[in-house]
Amino acid sequence: MSNNEWAKVLPVHEVLRELWFEYDEHLDRGPIVAHFRFDSLSVYVNVCPDDDTIELANEPKAPFTVFRKINVSDSEYWKPLIGRVLSWTHVMINNQGYQNGVSFGFANEQTSEVSSVMLVAGCSTLSVYQVQNRSARLNFGERALYENQ
């Protein structure tokens, strides 16, 4: 699915209301499905375990039959994003040409601050990463501090 195809499916400019992770109960590893519930629709990011790609759908499509569903909306990380507007998305393509991740930007309408999140498929699960916003402009002294850490 290309970025343009994803853009047709994802509810940009809609408010995130809930987020659920779904797990295979028989495997001790990360989530295999992320279920984003927005105002007008739900979007599922599914891991395809055969090639560790991701697929966007309106229902879970993981090949596992027994799920453990956990509402992560109130977790320390996700709680600040609930109620924010999805302002952009990008599909990530690995060096072999597979779509193995998607990044989301959630905007705070009062401050215009955007928090970025990446979901990346690997080892038949989703890994979640938060993108930290840092200034790209560092003076020489600040750069030396970062390089020496």
pLDDT of residue 140: 45
Kindly report each contact of residues 144-148 with a partner whose C-beta sits within 8 Å and lies 24 or more positions away, as own/partner.
Answer: none
Q: Helix, strand, coil shares of the chain as percentages rounded to 5?
A: 10, 45, 45
Q: Where are the alpha helices (DSSP H) in the chain?
A: 3-9, 140-147
pLDDT, averaged across the chain:
81
Encode burial over 43-58: b for 16+ CB neighbours within 10 A, e otherwise. bbbbbbbeebbbebee
Judged by DSSP in three states, 8 sits in: helix
List pLDDT tens digits, range 61-119.
756 666 789 999 999 889 999 999 999 888 899 999 999 999 999 998 888 888 999 99
Q: Residue 139's pLDDT band (boundaries 50, 70, 90)? A: very low
pLDDT (average), residues 13-25: 91
% residues pLDDT > 70 (the chain): 78
pLDDT of residue 59: 77
pLDDT (average), residues 7-32: 83
pTM of the model: 0.80
